C-alpha cells in the first residue's frame, strides 16, 4: 500500500491524533529521569509501549535523540522499530532540505527499508526550491513512503517566507500546495505527499488545502490548537488532518494509562465526540 492509503486507513481505524515523542531534557527531569542516554531510552520506550498500539501516528523529533550522538540514534532506531511493530505509522520529524546527492542520501537514510532509520514518512523543507525535494519524492515513490512538506507553520518567523509573493502573485505557501496537488493528482484514496500546517494559524490565509494529500497539524492541545481550529482552518480537508501534540501526552507520564487516556480523549474530541 502507498503511504497515502496507509495514512487514510490508520486515521479511520485509530483516529486522527498524532503523538510527538520528544524527549526534552525538562520532560526527562519531570519523569524523575537523568538527562542521559539511559534516561532517554527509558522515557522514549515507555511512551512507545503506552501509546503506539493505540494511536495512528507517532512523530519522534530526531533532534532530541541526535543530541546524544550514536547511542541516541540507536534509541531512535528502537523507537521506530517498536512503534511500527505496534501498528502505528512513524512520521520522523527531521525537516531536512538540501540538494542533489545530499538530498538523495537523506532520503535513503530515512525512507529506504534497508536503513535502520526507515520510517513511513518524514518532514522536509522546500525552501531551497521545491525541485530540491525531487530525490525525496523519487525515493518515497519507490518505497511507498510519504513526505510532509513545510507549508504554513505556526512559528512567528514563518510568514516572512511563507506569506511572501512569487512572480505569479500567489504566496510561497500556495505555490508549495500547488506542487503537492500535482504530485497527488489522481491518487486514491489519498496521495502520499502531505503538508505541515500549524493548528493555530489564522483563517485568512486564503490557502486551498484540497490538494488530495495528508496534513500534519502541529500545535494541537498544549500549544493552543483545538478541534474547532482544525475544522476552521481545513474545512472539508479536515478529514485528512492528523493533529499533533507531544507535551499534552508526555506530561501525563510516566503513567502509561494516563498517557493512553490523553490519546483516547484527543481522538474523541477530534472525531467530534466529548473530550
3-state SS, residue 56: coil
Assign 7 to helix, strand or coil.
Answer: helix
Using CA atoms, how far apart are residues 60 and 46, in angstroms rounded to an integer? Answer: 13
Catalytic residue check, 156: no
Angle, helices 70-85 vs 37-51, to 10°: value is 10
Task: Name the catalytic one among 78, 95, 247, 251.
Answer: 95
| 275 vs 267: CA distance, rounded Å | 8
The answer to whether 32 and 146 have CB atoms below 8 angstroms apart is no
**Residue 228: exposed, middle, or buried by beta-carbon count in 10 A (0-12, 13-18, 19+)?**
exposed
Query: C-alpha angle with apex 20: 187 to 262, nearest 5 degrees?
Result: 105
Query: CB atoms < 10 A from the CB of 138, how many?
Result: 14
122 bridge partner residues: 92, 147
β-bridge mates for residue 215, sequence order = 195, 241
Cis preceding-peptide flag for 141 (omega within 30 of 0): no
Mind telling me the catalytic residues?
A: 95
Amino acid at each position: 500500500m502507498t503511504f497515502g492509503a496507509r495514512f487514510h486507513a490508520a486515521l479511520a481505524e485509530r483516529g486522527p491524533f498524532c503523538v510527538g515523542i520528544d524527549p526534552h531534557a525538562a520532560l526527562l527531569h519531570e519523569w524523575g529521569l537523568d538527562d542521559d542516554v539511559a534516561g532517554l531510552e527509558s522515557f522514549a520506550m515507555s511512551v512507545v509501549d503506552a501509546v503506539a498500539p493505540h494511536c495512528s501516528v507517532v512523530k519522534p523529533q530526531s533532534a532530541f535523540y541526535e543530541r546524544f550522538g550514536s547511542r541516541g540514534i540507536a534509541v531512535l532506531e528502537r523507537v521506530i522499530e517498536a512503534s511500527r511493530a505496534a501498528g502505528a505509522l512513524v512520521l520522523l520529524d527531521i525537516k531536512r532540505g538540501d540538494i542533489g546527492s545530499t538530498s538523495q542520501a537523506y532520503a535513503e537514510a530515512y525512507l529506504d527499508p534497508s536503513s535502520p532509520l526507515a520510517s513511513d514518512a518524514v518532514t522536509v523543507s522546500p525552501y531551497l526550491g521545491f525541485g530540491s525535494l525531487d530525490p525525496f519524492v523519487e525515493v518515497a515513490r519507490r518505497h511507498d513512503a510519504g513526505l510532509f512538506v513545510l507549508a504554513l507553520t505556526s512559528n512567528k518567523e514563518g510568514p516572512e517566507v511563507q506569506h511572501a509573493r512569487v512572480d505569479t502573485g500567489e504566496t510561497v505557501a500556495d505555490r508549495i500546495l500547488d506542487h503537492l496537488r500535482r504530485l497527488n493528482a489522481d491518487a486514491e484514496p489519498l496521495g502520499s505527499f502531505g503538508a505541515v500546517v500549524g493548528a493555530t494559524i489564522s483563517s485568512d490565509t486564503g490557502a486551498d488545502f484540497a490538494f488530495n494529500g495528508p496534513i500534519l497539524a502541529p500545535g494541537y492541545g498544549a500549544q493552543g490548537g483545538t478541534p474547532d481550529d482544525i475544522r476552521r482552518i481545513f474545512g472539508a480537508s479536515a478529514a485528512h488532518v492528523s493533529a499533533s501534540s507531544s507535551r499534552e501526552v508526555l506530561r501525563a507520564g510516566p503513567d502509561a494509562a494516563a498517557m493512553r487516556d490523553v490519546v483516547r480523549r484527543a481522538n474523541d474530541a477530534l472525531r467530534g465526540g466529548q473530550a
